[in-house]
A and B are shown apart, each in its own frame.
Chain A
């Protein structure tokens, strides 16, 4: 998976780069419009992470350039602006998704997974994790070949964990993923706990290993060891 990260803020760029590489992506970076434009024209990417406010241009123009080239790349807009307007324009221009800064890195991973899955395999992609097999298109989960019945939220939670294997997920990130990021996460910690407990129980009933670890005071982690 090859990504292009267009982000002008050096500290954010390096942190994102590190996180994305840890998640197994091949990442190239472009700190400004000019370099990003060159890279878009020269190379092919699976997905472009696009900051809209660049020092020498508007990210939306890069999006337009990508779309006129008919590039296969998915586009995930990252914007700090309270982007009620830009978001709509971006999506109209053909961006796949958007994230408003500041965002959770785990959320970024989940969105990226979804975009790449949709783009490259027309949805016919499955996720394998240890003894789990998930068909996202059908929302079907198999544990050792046996179907697992999950509620909507439990399924969302599982998919979120699967998008971030081996990463510590904060309670805030999980809460906002499940409830939308306008909810004050602190209000929803208790329900994450409930859902996780149920998910764990269902997995264990089917004989799956207990790979959802609780990180005390922090959150949860899908252990891949």
Chain B
């Protein structure tokens, strides 16, 4: 269990943007858009209002001048020469924008001018009134500046508020997430989550708790089903086997030489059936992850023990055993599964061997390799691990051994690879205690 928890699974959510960042992005976009629109509207609005004001002032001055002229007063030149210009040549009438050199700053400054006709002493005159727009521009700048400042402050405020809120409001969510991530169905306990004050999170927690309760219940019933199915099937098998064995003891069998072998075959078949059943029950137990308690396993010791147990088989087939036990890797496994793994690997190497061949076991800190000679096997190597896969159609074994190897490997995150070397005709099964990455496959 430990081993497969330690396997770091990149959490897919991390690849995506955080919710806060995403909302902030939208806030920013909206604020920028509003700012542009509002700035534009403000600029044109204020600009129009100011020009209108300037135009009005120019109009007032015109009326004042006209009234003065009508009253017969002479049109005196003003000290601000550029603000009033009188010309005897015709000029375009009405309001207009113009640029005039500023005497102090020696630059061109935008101005508004109003030209009108006056008749003084029977002579036509064209009077141009001018007013600089520099002041109104200054006002615009200030207004827009203030506007920008306020918007920036608002944005900063929103960001900070959001950050603070996410720390505070999303706390329960993070708590739930952490609880889910560390949730282990093997413990047979439903999740217990607090009820946060925020409705949505409370609902979420309730839904998650409900889900975990159902998971636990389903898991339990599945477990019970497997156990019961195993129990219920093994009992009739046990009865059959025991009674057949008793039947073989009946003295009357001696009178009919054909009866006893029939019974013996039946006995053998019963035995095979129960063996098959055990293997399937084991596979389903592994798939249901019902082997939670891992213990430190000394693989070298286990290999020694298992090869000792299988020695008669090796001997009977005239196979040589080569054990190369290097530094034992520190493994934590369920003892039953470790036993199954080693047994099935060795057994497989013995079964698919050739007379006078060998079984070579190589254990290092990283991997366990078991190899044996034998003719090439046709077919896709990856399918050797499938259930009921047999190398020979007539083989007596149901072909579950390598499936068990693979399942145990998958359970602990071991990388299991099969290799066939045409030169020397050797089959090698390698169990890498660290999962094999794509670059490590060779």
Residues in chain A within 8 A of chain B (CB atoms):
9, 11-12, 15-16, 18-19, 22, 53, 80-82, 84, 101-106, 153, 167-168, 170-173, 178-180, 182-188, 190-191, 194-195, 215-219
Residues on A with C-beta less than 8 A from B246 are 15, 18-19, 105
Least Cβ–Cβ distance between A180 and chain B, in angstroms = 5
Determine the distance from Cα of A53 to Cα of B248 in the docked complex, in whole angstroms: 28
Determine the distance from Cα of A80 to Cα of B235 in the docked complex, in whole angstroms: 7
**Inter-chain contact B309/A180, CB cutoff 8 Å:** yes
For window 275-301 of B, CB contacts with A under 8 Å fall at 275, 278, 281-282, 285
Residues on B with C-beta less than 8 A from A168 are 248-249, 260
Determine the distance from Cα of A182 to Cα of B310 in the docked complex, in whole angstroms: 10
Determine the distance from Cα of A215 to Cα of B257 in the docked complex, in whole angstroms: 10
**Inter-chain contact B257/A216, CB cutoff 8 Å:** yes
Give the residue of A15, A22, A106, A219 whose beta carbon is less than 8 angstroms from that of B243.
A15
**Inter-chain contact A217/B264, CB cutoff 8 Å:** yes
Residues on A with C-beta less than 8 A from B137 are none
Residues on B with C-beta less than 8 A from A102 are 234, 237-238, 240-242, 270-271, 274
Q: Which residue of B lies closest to A105 (CB)?
A: B245
Instruction: Give the segment of B34-42, B212-220, B312-320 that binds chain A.
Output: B312-320
Determine the distance from Cα of A66 to Cα of B350 in the docked complex, in whole angstroms: 44
Residues on B with C-beta less than 8 A from A80 are 230-231, 234-235, 238
For window 188-209 of B, CB contacts with A under 8 Å fall at none
Given contacts A105-B246, A172-B271, contact A9 B312 (CB under 8 A): no
Binary flags per residue of B390-410, CB closer than 8 Å to A gives 1, else 0: 000000110000000000000
Residues on A with C-beta less than 8 A from B267 are 170, 172
Residues on A with C-beta less than 8 A from B309 are 179-180, 183
Residues on A with C-beta less than 8 A from B249 are 19, 22, 167-168
**Inter-chain contact A81/B227, CB cutoff 8 Å:** yes
**Inter-chain contact A101/B313, CB cutoff 8 Å:** no
**Inter-chain contact A194/B245, CB cutoff 8 Å:** no
Residues on B with C-beta less than 8 A from A16 are 242
Determine the distance from Cα of A15 to Cα of B230 in the docked complex, in whole angstroms: 21
Residues on A with C-beta less than 8 A from B274 are 102
Most chain B beta-carbon neighbours within 10 Å: one of A80, A184, A216: A184
Least Cβ–Cβ distance between A193 and chain B, in angstroms = 9
Least Cβ–Cβ distance between B412 and chain A, in angstroms = 16
Least Cβ–Cβ distance between B292 and chain A, in angstroms = 10
Give the residue of B235, B245, B312, B335 whose beta carbon is less than 8 angstroms from that of A179.
B312
Least Cβ–Cβ distance between A190 and chain B, in angstroms = 5
Check: B347 CB closer than 8 A to any chain A CB.
Answer: yes
Determine the distance from Cα of A194 to Cα of B311 in the docked complex, in whole angstroms: 14
Most chain A beta-carbon neighbours within 10 Å: one of B231, B242, B274, B350: B242
Given contacts A184-B275, A191-B315, contact A172 B268 (CB under 8 A): yes
Give 18 CB contacts A-B under 8 Å.
A9-B235, A12-B238, A53-B231, A101-B234, A101-B238, A105-B246, A153-B311, A168-B260, A170-B264, A171-B264, A179-B313, A184-B275, A185-B268, A194-B316, A215-B260, A216-B261, A217-B265, A219-B264
The 4 lowest CB-CB distance pairs between A and B, nearest first, are A217-B261, A191-B316, A102-B238, A101-B238
Q: Which residue of A lies closest to B268 (CB)?
A: A172
Least Cβ–Cβ distance between A136 and chain B, in angstroms = 20
**Inter-chain contact A12/B261, CB cutoff 8 Å:** no
Most chain A beta-carbon neighbours within 10 Å: one of B239, B270, B282, B343: B239
Give the residue of B231, B242, B264, B282 whose beta carbon is less than 8 angstroms from that of A81.
B231
Determine the distance from Cα of A101 to Cα of B312 in the docked complex, in whole angstroms: 24
**Inter-chain contact A12/B242, CB cutoff 8 Å:** yes
Check: B7 CB closer than 8 A to any chain A CB.
Answer: no
Residues on B with C-beta less than 8 A from A19 are 242, 245-246, 249
Residues on B with C-beta less than 8 A from A22 are 249
Residues on B with C-beta less than 8 A from A105 are 242, 245-246
Check: B94 CB closer than 8 A to any chain A CB.
Answer: no
Determine the distance from Cα of A168 to Cα of B259 in the docked complex, in whole angstroms: 14
Give the residue of B239, B261, B268, B396 whose beta carbon is less than 8 angstroms from that of A15.
B239
Least Cβ–Cβ distance between B304 and chain A, in angstroms = 14
Check: B351 CB closer than 8 A to any chain A CB.
Answer: yes
Check: B263 CB closer than 8 A to any chain A CB.
Answer: yes
Least Cβ–Cβ distance between B34 and chain A, in angstroms = 67
**Inter-chain contact B238/A103, CB cutoff 8 Å:** yes
Check: B336 CB closer than 8 A to any chain A CB.
Answer: yes
Residues on B with C-beta less than 8 A from A167 are 249
Q: Which residue of B lies closest to A157 (CB)?
A: B312
Determine the distance from Cα of A9 to Cα of B234 in the docked complex, in whole angstroms: 11
Q: Which residue of A lies closest to B340 (CB)?
A: A182
Most chain B beta-carbon neighbours within 10 Å: one of A53, A102, A179: A102
Determine the distance from Cα of A205 to Cα of B265 in the docked complex, in whole angstroms: 34
